[in-house]
Structure 1
Amino acid sequence: MRFRAVDTFRGIAAILVILFHLQHLNLLSGNDFIARSDIFVDFFFVLSGFVMTHSNYGKITNLASVRLFVIKRFKRLYPLHVFTLLLVLLFEVFRYGVDRYVVKLANPVFADDKSLPSFIANLTLTQSLNLFDRVTWNGPSWSISVEFYTYILWALGLLLFRKNLLLLGSVGLGLAAWFIAQHGGNIIFNYDYGLIRCLYSFLIGMLAYRLSRRLPFTFSYGQYSAAEILLIGLAMLTVSSFTHPESWLMPLFFAILIIVFSREGGVVSNLLVKERFEFLGKLSYSYYLNHTLVLAVMDLLLFKLVKLPHTSLAELLYVVVCLACVHVLSVFTYRHVELILQSVSSNRAPKTAVDMAVV
């Protein structure tokens, strides 16, 4: 079974995260929806729990199958992660040349977030296990770090709890709930407690999948359409207005959205499954890991070297150029980097949302 509509949502969510990192522009500042769009990282985590349960629950039966599962996920995550890490390193070397020989840059070159220890941690996917006091190198990769270790814990949890999803979810969410209560309902963590944030949302996605398989859905096309439109409106409202103490509720809302749209029974989901939108899901992982580098490169080129003024028109040009460059780079990395460790047969097979759930 393919989850084409929610796969397209994943691509849209990746674009919203890009816009979140552009909110410093006068053009986008003051938009509450964009200012809180980093919460869509939790949508990735919930969706990952949903599709991983769908695709791998029946395959994990012993330690050997856990090993195969972890290797498969590593092969899917690591090539693009290390590729973007090396690109960031090259860009920092370029910044060093600009800073020394062209124009003095406001931000220091090879600052604390780009140290040798953090580079090694990024190579080992440990950069977001509370080893540093900030995100390092390619900032969005913090979520790749915690998701990889979430996969390991989840697979081992299936064995420990004898594949009892309710028991696994109850214990895992109980521990996460204690942590969240200690932090006032806030789950907006990354370099420090991002693993707990990811586990919390992932387990919600796991239980959402179990619920979606057990509940009968006998709604009409019109009822599904009304539910989908309502959920889109609620998503815009809740993302625009939630506060940090309420952030623990957002993965629960995303789970409801995923359950409904995974059925592809209404007018919105029928639109999202159209072939013209499929590339959003395919490129979402590349969009996510490539975008901060592209934003930094374009900022240096357009505003520091070309010296564009910070007018609305110049900022609009910057946004359009950034989105276009992210897309072009992502087409390249999707085709030539992301799947490099996959088997030949996997490369030739069409990818579904299950195959591509990575962030």
Structure 2
Amino acid sequence: MDIRKLNTLRAIAASIVLITHFSDVTGWLDGALGGRAGQYGVMLFFLLSGFLMSHLYFDKKANKENIKRYVISRTARVVPLYVLVVACSYSMYYFGHTGLYEITEVQSLIAHLLFIYGESVLWTIAPEIQFYVIFIGLWKIASWRSGYIYVIVTVVLIVLFFSNFPRIHGDFDGIPYNFFHIVRSLPYFLVGVLIGMHYKSANVPPYLRKNIFIAPLLLIPLMYPHFSPITSDAKMRMWLSYEVLLVMAAVFISVIYLVPDDNRLLANRVGDFLGRISYSLYLLHMPIIQFISTFDMPIVLKLILFLSSSVCVAYLSFRWIEKPTARLIRSVFDDKQRMQKLRVNCQ
């Protein structure tokens, strides 16, 4: 079942990150759209990740074949472009050039490839991969007793709260690791899993399916540090506040469950396009900002050039890297599956 609204939601999440980083780097609007506000875009990504996994897989058996397909699908979607970006970043520094990201030592390279550390925006990929592993366990439990998922999520949220979100980071023989990122991001992924569990079976009354329920999306900019009326530490320490989790989950539920599927603001070709290239947009926009920020031109022109360049680069990346590598990985797996079935039949 294709949920077209999710494409635009991905595009919104990526746009929040892009605009925030542009504001921080260039000082656009005196940094009013910056100040860590990009974290809200990342929260949306993690909510989407948990939602899609439970929505797509919980009604399937957690057997060996389905888990293999899941692993191949998730790997093909995320890993190839990430590995290419990491390898290029290190290679460029090794040969004396400015890299895409600051991966200047072998230890840092290893940490990135092991998904235990990340520079700049790359930090989000490690938790995402770790969530993929965690989800296999949740999937098996859901196949056995789905009600235990609620217990697990509740216990994890309570433990994280009373343990003050432990800062697990350091290095091992010079190889850095930072598991604090997964600790602080895990509640968003788990809440996304809970929301996705019920999407197929939810019976939302027609009188609640209204376009007006797109309005809660406006709560996200209202939480930006420069605009927010919030006076608690949730204003700047958003990952560590369940107040923010509550608001972001409410926004997500409103869009997913209450906004009609044919809402023109969320179901349109622009949203479809930007949603498809959102991963490349996210991974590749920072070097583009750094490059364009050195130009001597009005900041509005920098913004236009940044956005147009980022979209073009992301499309090329999606068209020539993401799609072909994902298709290749899946086809190799499918070929192996067919060969195994042929051997079994021949026996």
CA 1:33 to 1:219, structure 2 compared with 1: closer, same or farther past 3 Å?
farther
Q: CA deviation at 1:284?
A: 0.6
The letter of the residue matching 2:214 is E
Q: Distance in 1 between matches of 2:268 and 2:308?
A: 22
Q: 2:253 aligns with which of 243, 248, 259?
A: 259
TM-score (normalised: structure 1): 0.75
Percent identical residues: 21
1:316, distance to aligned residue in structure 2 (A): 2.6
Deviation at 1:171, TM superposition (A): 1.6
Quote how far apart the aligned CAs of 1:112 are.
Answer: 7.8
Partner amino acid, structure 2, of 1:219: P
Deviations 1:71-95 (A, max 9, x none): 221111111101222332355367x
Letter in 1 for 2:58: Y
Matched with 1:226 is 212
Q: CA–CA distance in 2 between the matches of 1:42 and 1:318?
A: 27
Superposed, 1:1-359 pairs within 5 Å as 1-22=1-22, 23-31=24-32, 35-92=36-93, 96=96, 114-127=104-117, 135-136=118-119, 139-160=120-141, 162-183=143-164, 191-220=178-207, 224-229=210-215, 231-240=216-225, 241=228, 242-243=234-235, 244=237, 247-263=241-257, 265-266=259-260, 269-299=263-293, 302-303=294-295, 308=296, 314-343=298-327
Q: Distance in 2 between matches of 1:30 and 1:268?
A: 35
Higher relative contact order (CA 8 A, sep 6+): 1
- Structure 1 unmatched ranges of 5 or more: 99-108, 128-134, 348-359
Equivalent-residue separation in structure 2 for 1:55 and 1:16 (angstroms): 26
SS in structure 1 at match of 2:206: coil
**CA distance in structure 1 between the aligned counterparts of 2:279 and 2:104, rounded to whole angstroms:** 22
Q: SS of 2:210's equivalent?
A: helix
SS in 1 for 2:156: helix
User: Comparing 22-31 with 52-61, which one deviates more in the overlay?
Assistant: 22-31
Q: Which amino acid aligns with 2:325?
A: L
| Contact 2:81–2:322 under 8 Å retained in 1 | yes
Aligned residues: 312
Give the AA of the match of 1:321: L
CA RMSD of aligned residues (A): 3.3
TM-score by length of 2: 0.77
Structure 1 residues 9-47: Cα deviation after superposition (integer angstroms, max 9, x where no partner)? 211211210122222423233415764222221111111
Report the Cα distance in structure 2 between the residues aligned to 1:268 and 1:44, rounded to whole angstroms: 22
Once residues 296 and 336 of structure 1 are traced to their aligned partners in structure 2, the CA distance between those partners, rounded to angstroms, is 24
For the 8 Å contact 1:264–1:270, the answer to whether it is kept is: no
Name the CA distance, whole Å, in 2 between partners of 1:249 and 1:35: 17
Change (3 A) 1:56 1:297: same
Q: Cα–Cα, structure 1 residues 173 and 21, in superposed 2: closer, same or farther, change >3 Å? A: farther
Tell me, what secondary structure is at the counterpart of 2:275? helix
* Superposed displacement of residue 110, structure 1: 11
